[in-house]
Amino acid sequence: MDLADMNQTASPVQPHCAVLSQPDPLQVGGVSLHSRLFLGTARYPAPSVLAEAVQAAQVEVLTVSLRRLAPESQSGQAWWQRIREMGRHLLPNTAGCHSAEEAITVAQMAREIFGTHWIKLEVIGDDYTLQPDPWGTVAAAQTLVREGFAVFAYTTDDLVTALKLRDVGVAAIMPWAAPIGTGAGPRNLPALRTLRERLPDSVLVVDAGIGTPHHAAQVMELGYDAVLVNTAVAEAGDPVAMARAFTLSVQAGRLAHRALPMRTREVAQASTPMVGVPFWHQGS
């Protein structure tokens, strides 16, 4: 049988595309999301730049702060109107709160003003590192969940705190990669990996410390459900292009996780089969 006959009789190779063909929405807070990138709305050079970045990234969730409304001036109302016109899911936050009581009060106000039961819970315990207070966060989360909020709880990569947040019924646990605004990227990948392994059924969203798209891809490859970025996009030289880059990196990381990456090895292994190759050619 010559080569032409072999080509005619051989079975065609069918690519294995099961992962690509399966839908992969994120279910959180009672909604289904296609985008796994959440975008913050602060620090942009102009509201128009924010709007272009949102469009370029095709994000579905925007974080907003009650303090940005600035009720004593008209600028806050204009900003709020622009946010509403974007038509995205809003995730109000309790940024700047230093106690459970303060965070609960701000959350209740945000629900009335923004018209959503979603809340990004932040209770800061240290003003220098902006590290969240684990005791205050868990206490506030417990109260807010009882009051019907879908709580997205900002925390560190501490496993015990995350377990307690899961137990009180938060919608999502949001561990940091590094302190807020540093752009340092994930400083403790083993801890983030442990969180994912120990909380397989919880929604985990990396929040804070992400600086570049490859940081986002790293944590998405671990199996995280989404990434929240703000400063990394808002303070980029071209925020619109950076927003798009983050969307692509989140998609790549998620797809890589679902495709099951190869296991790492301690020694080299030839990628080209050596069977049938004369020994004097091997290694040349």
10, 120, 147, 159, 211 from 185: Cα distances, Å: 49, 21, 34, 19, 6
Give pLDDT, residue 6: 43
Give pLDDT, residue 7: 46
Q: Is 169 annotated as a binding residue?
A: no
Angle between helices 47-57 and 75-85 (to 10 degrees): 20
Give pLDDT, residue 281: 56
Q: pLDDT, tens digit, for every residue of 168-202?
A: 999 999 999 999 889 999 999 999 999 999 999 99
Domain 34-258 has CATH 3.20.20.70: yes
CB atoms within 10 A of CB 260: 8
**CA 39 from centre of chain:** 9
Q: And the tokens for 135?
A: 């005791």
Which residues carry out catalysis? 120
Give pLDDT, residue 73: 52
Q: And the tokens for 137?
A: 């966060």
How would you write the pLDDT of the chain (284 residues) with one tens digit per residue? Answer: 444 444 444 444 445 667 777 888 999 999 999 999 999 999 999 999 999 999 999 999 999 988 766 544 555 677 778 888 888 999 999 999 999 999 999 999 999 988 999 999 999 999 888 899 999 999 999 999 999 999 999 999 999 999 999 999 999 999 999 998 899 999 999 999 999 999 999 999 999 999 999 999 999 999 999 999 999 999 999 999 999 999 999 999 999 999 998 888 888 877 766 666 665 555 55
Q: Which residue blocks in 35-147 are alpha helix, DSSP H? A: 47-57, 75-85, 100-114, 134-146
Residues 270, 275, 279: CA angle, nearest 5 degrees: 85
3-state secondary structure of 21: helix
Q: Is 41 annotated as a binding residue?
A: no
Q: Is 230 annotated as a binding residue?
A: yes
Q: Is 264 annotated as a binding residue?
A: no
Could you tell me where the beta strands, DSSP code E, fall in 94-217? 118-121, 150-155, 172-175, 205-207
Q: Is 137 annotated as a binding residue?
A: no
Distance CA 249, CA 216 (A): 6
27, 77, 268 from 275: Cα distances, Å: 48, 71, 17
Give pLDDT, residue 1: 46
What 71-79 contacts at long range (C-beta under 8 Å, 24+ apart), as own/partner pairs, is 79/47
DSSP state of 270: -
Domain boundaries, the chain: 34-258
Distance CA 218, CA 247 (A): 13
Give pLDDT, residue 282: 56
